[in-house]
Amino acid sequence: MGCRDVHAATVLAFLSGTASVAGLLAAVLLPNWRQMRLYTFNKNERNVTVYTGLWIKCARFDGSRDCVIYDPQWYTAVDQLDLRVLQFALPLSMVTAASALFLCLIGMCNTAFVSTVPNVKLAKCLVNSAGCHLVAGLLFLLACAICLTPSIWVIFYNNYLNRKYEPVFSFDISVFIAIASAGGLFFTSVLLFLWYCACKSLPSPFWQPLYSHAPSMHSYASQPYSARSRLSAMEIDIPVVTHAS
């Protein structure tokens, strides 16, 4: 695997990162982080489930899809510490992952459309695609940590609420979406790290273009030469005479 081509690893990493960011966006917007199940012993009334998200809260009767109580200002009055942390952590994770996607796209475009022998004067200013993918992998790993830690904390905090009050709390589908998205970010970072390790054997430095010498030096090295030129000035061809028996 060489760094000068766009390989399946980088394309798969870009698609995986895009899907992970989309999953994070869905987890942020869905009001399904925590459920609070309220039971009634009156046969003439129905049980109520309160769906709590990061930004809104919705209360529904069993068997109904309409919100009896809809609170769009819930994000200003969140009284649960784990959800308050997630309000800052998930958008930060999305911004970090989006920056990594941008770097990954720059590296892919650089390898696909930029000449392998650029101008010598611009050699020190060019972007190395291997460096772009390495930094993108680090950003994806950081976004995974920012997302995964508070998402797992929701599970433990849910158990804490059940012990402190009543066992009426349960985590909802957004927790699984966020954890799956964090796993996608980790998978993306691993793919980019593998791609970089395959490129590490190249003679180019870390953040420089994919060659270690000026193009003029490459042009001299690539010119054909005869085997005769490898003989030193002191070497003399001695003819060999064979006699027929």
Q: What beta strand segments (E) does the chain contain?
A: 34-38, 48-52, 57-61, 69-71, 169-171
Quick one: average pLDDT of 223-230?
45
Give the three-state DSSP class for 132.
helix
Worst-scoring range by mean pLDDT, 1-5, 104-108, 143-147, 212-216?
A: 212-216
C-alpha 156/C-alpha 177 separation (Å) is 17
Query: pTM surpassing 0.85?
Result: no
Per-residue pLDDT at 224 exceeds 60:
no
pLDDT mean over 181-208: 76
Question: Where is average pLDDT lowest: 9-23, 46-60, 226-240?
Answer: 226-240
Which of 10-19, 129-138, 219-228 is predicted least confidently? 219-228
Give the mean pLDDT of the chain.
76
> CA-to-CA distance for 229 and 239, rounded, in angstroms?
19
Q: Rounded to an integer, what distance in angstroms lies between the CA atom of residue 173 and that of residue 167?
A: 18
Residues 151, 181: Cα–Cα separation, whole Å: 11
- What is the pLDDT, as a whole number, of residue 1? 42
8: its two tokens = 């399946």
Q: What pLDDT does 32 receive?
A: 86
What pLDDT, on the 0 to 100 scale, is given for residue 152?
Answer: 92
Q: Which two tokens stand for residue 102?
A: 């941008």
User: What Å distances lie between residue 217 and 59, 117, 211, 213, 214, CA to CA?
Assistant: 72, 11, 11, 6, 5
Burial label for 158, CB within 10 Å (0-12, 13-18, 19+), is buried
Amino acid occupying residue 4: R
Contact partners, residue 142, CB within 8 Å, separation at least 6 = 96
Residue 102 has pLDDT above 80, yes or no: yes
- Distance (Å, whole) CA 129 – CA 200: 12
Among 42, 40, 60, 41, which Cα is nearest to 50's? 60
Q: What is the pLDDT of residues 125-184, one digit of tens each?
A: 455 677 788 889 999 999 999 999 999 999 898 888 888 887 888 888 999 999 999 999
Q: How confident is the model at residue 232 (pLDDT cuts 50, 70, 90)?
A: very low
Q: pLDDT tens for residues 18-68? A: 999 999 999 999 888 888 887 777 766 778 888 888 888 888 887 777 777
Rounded to whole angstroms, the Cα distance separating 96 from 88 reads: 12
